[in-house]
Amino acid sequence: MAKILIADDEARMRKLVRDFLVRAGYQVIEAADGEEAVDKIFNDHKLDLILLDVMMPKMDGWEVLKTVREYSKVPVIMLTAKADERDELKGFQLGVDEYVTKPFSPKVLVARVDALLRRTGGDAEELLSAGGIEINKSAHIVTIDGEPIELSFKEFELLEYFLKNPGRALSREMILNNVWNYNYYGDARTIDTHVKKLRSKMGDKGKYILTVWGLGYKFEVPTEEA
């Protein structure tokens, strides 16, 4: 049974979300402010996902996220009352996996949770490799020429999607649908920001992610390096 933390200062919101998640078979713990959320995150190393409100007392959601990402890659869905493009880009840069804007349907939120946990749960012992890059999905580890590199969940999923589609031109819409899920509405800058960071972390191997002008990207390893 996956365990989920709901961090929100509105008691009625926590109860509403908790009831739907419990009904869907999840174990739920709660935090009423940012400091309590951080305490529970670091005292419970078996959390599978965090639902994190942006506006909370003591520590807001951004500060909680920054603190968590220094030590953990646990998936995070941000709950926000406003859909500001700059905030969304900031969140993705900090390591947010999904956004849900209030007010939202609890059923849709549960569907988002289901989808994110399926994607981040991995398939046991599945390995992907190309051009010296290896992804171990079950361990959630990426190595380049045998050396591990640190990636956020979204960077990991993005690289995985590229390796699963070698030599194929992938439109930004396809990437959004497959990496951010079908009902995430983003723009090109979201993808471009993640690709830029991923290339940087991959060092020389970043050149394998090619820009397809006017469309999106393509992952291709030159024949002599394959």
Q: What is the pLDDT of residues 177-223, one digit of tens each?
A: 778 764 455 566 788 999 999 999 999 999 999 999 989 999 999 87
Instruction: Report if pTM > 0.85.
Output: no
The CATH code of domain 151-221 reads 1.10.10.10
Tell me the C-alpha to C-alpha distance, in Å, between residue 104 and each of 56, 94, 154: 18, 23, 23
Angle of helix 85-94 relative to helix 188-202, nearest 10 degrees? Answer: 20
pLDDT of 226 reads 55
Which tokens belong to 138?
A: 């079950």
CB hemisphere CA count around 128 (13 angstroms) = 19
What is the C-alpha to C-alpha distance for residues 173 and 186, in angstroms, rounded to an integer? 9
CATH 3.40.50.2300 is right for the domain spanning 3-121? yes
Provide φ and ψ at 133, rounded to 5°.
-100, 130
Q: What is the pLDDT of residues 97-147, one digit of tens each?
A: 888 888 888 888 898 898 888 877 644 346 788 999 999 876 778 999 989
Q: What is the pLDDT of residues 176-189, one digit of tens each?
A: 877 876 445 556 67
Tell me the C-alpha to C-alpha distance, in Å, between residue 143 and each of 101, 122, 126, 136, 139: 35, 16, 14, 8, 11
Which tokens belong to 168?
A: 């194929």
pLDDT of 125 reads 43
Which tokens belong to 108?
A: 């849709």
**All residues at 6 or more sequence positions from 163 whose CB lies less than 8 Å from its CB, including other chains:** 128, 129, 130, 133, 135, 219
Q: Where are the domains of the chain?
A: 3-121, 151-221
pLDDT of 91 reads 76
State which amino acid sits at residue 133.
Answer: I
